[in-house]
Chains A and B, each alone.
Chain A
């Protein structure tokens, strides 16, 4: 095939499609976490990238210092980082309720600087290796391409967690409380539900999703202090494209934009870093509230 003057081979196309899906898995998990937090707290969590990075580091620490393998990390790391998130909410964000949401945005921005600076201090800018768990080594032959098992696992795990989160919010009683508290916190409190605790747990949960993405990413991207800062701007663009506060929208947009980015790497590599932002500009022009968003 020959498009835009680039000779394109099918294996290359499939390869980039796969990388796109992998990146899309991370975008989806991260933007989902942002959407969940935004829905409940109406703040943008700028520290989201830092928590994603902490998730990957937690996996690394668990392996290095406690000998707990990948599968333990997949559970323990989101729990630990999520707990840190809940503490952050209790200590800091809670104090800013009632102020302009820009202040909480700036607060999480400052937290991101602190976290990233600390990790950069102790671990430098280079990456620490994290081995692919042996159960997920090797590759499948799909006939038209080889699919490394771990990459398939990342896509599957991300999709399952995203869908489970969506089902929980849309279909369960807990999710109903959550949506109700998003609409009208005072009324929900009047029914005897502890809304402040729900807010804390929601923030912790959103942060845990980011940490989960971090653990999934660790064997692919290596564990680096800058890994969160690198991805967060794209995730913001994904959130703007999908529309804030739409749970399903953020998941779908995350995966789709990952794939679009991957395809751009094949057809027009120069634009692969900027394509998501260009799409964001076009979406803003046509639908300022985002593809799945409601008017604010």
Chain B
């Protein structure tokens, strides 16, 4: 590498860092302003899905693993958290932790089986596993089948913070979201994340350099499952219910759409994408099944003409990485 190029590279990194700091500040500011201009419950729901999409993007964007069954982690954690809070009377933080643990275990078991396959095989295997979890949730007595778990108490986090107050709940959700978001960012920017990207670019070369690529991919899968679980468990506390929708195939599809629209392999893309998709569902709900059709059209359009997504496109225009 000649000197000019390395100077340019160093310059880009510092520009990237500045761009990221600005983007993060803008996002935090928007989260602070949002409940005053929009329906807070809607924002909280969007934040849950945004975290879910960030978890999904960790796999697709940085390890090139397309999981088409990610709803199983969202849904299972949601059920476990709802059950723990309602039936066992656990306070919300422990209930959420249990939900996350359940998803991480599920991620380890399914990941260990799926990770040896790549590309479309991996995608098909995750579809099949999520369908299996879906049927499990239909049959298992504690999920109450079609009814789902209703009336989940919000309770007092750590026995102190009363989450039934909507403002406190909002702050709680915002903090958990930012924690999850930064966890993903930190992971991607860590040496571990660099190795994931190396595997994404050229797996045989990473193997030849002595990395146990399967273990790295499995670790990424479990981490993604756990963060998706965090989103699902938090969603159970916010919405005060857990239902079959959270574990269904359509939810798995939606998270792909969110990431694709926003921009895979970008930090802010999944957040933007989640906001768009959740808004679409909310504001277009009166059109019934047309929402599915529109989602399909957006999918096709993104894949054919807009592969970078919104944030990816913006970043490419400004020559920065977000």
Contacts and interface: CB of A to CB of B under 8 A. Distances in A.
Contact of B303 (A106, A117, A270): A106
A117 B117 contact: no
Contacts, number: 126
Interface string B132-144: 1001101100000
B260 A106 contact: yes
A142 interface: no
Nearest to B288: A121
A99 B117 CA distance: 19
A120 B290 CA distance: 9
B293 A107 contact: no
Contacts of A112: 296
Contact of A121 (B113, B125, B290): B290
Interface residues of B, number: 44
A101 interface: yes
B276 to A, nearest CB: 15
| Majority DSSP secondary structure for residues of B touching A | helix
B131 A233 contact: yes
B96 to A, nearest CB: 27
A273 B133 CA distance: 10
Interface string A30-60: 0000000000000110000000000000000
| Majority DSSP secondary structure for residues of A touching B | helix
Given A274-B136, A277-B131, A240 B304 contact: no
Q: Which 8 A-B pairs have the closest CB atoms?
A: A110-B299, A113-B296, A117-B292, A114-B296, A277-B132, A117-B293, A233-B131, A237-B128
Interface of A: 43-44, 92, 95-96, 99-107, 109-118, 120-121, 229, 233-234, 236-237, 239-240, 244, 270, 273-274, 276-278, 280-281, 284-285, 288, 296
Given A102-B120, A114-B293, A115-B296, 17 more contacts: A44-B120, A100-B64, A101-B120, A103-B303, A103-B307, A107-B303, A110-B298, A114-B300, A117-B296, A120-B292, A233-B249, A236-B128, A273-B139, A274-B135, A284-B113, A284-B116, A284-B125
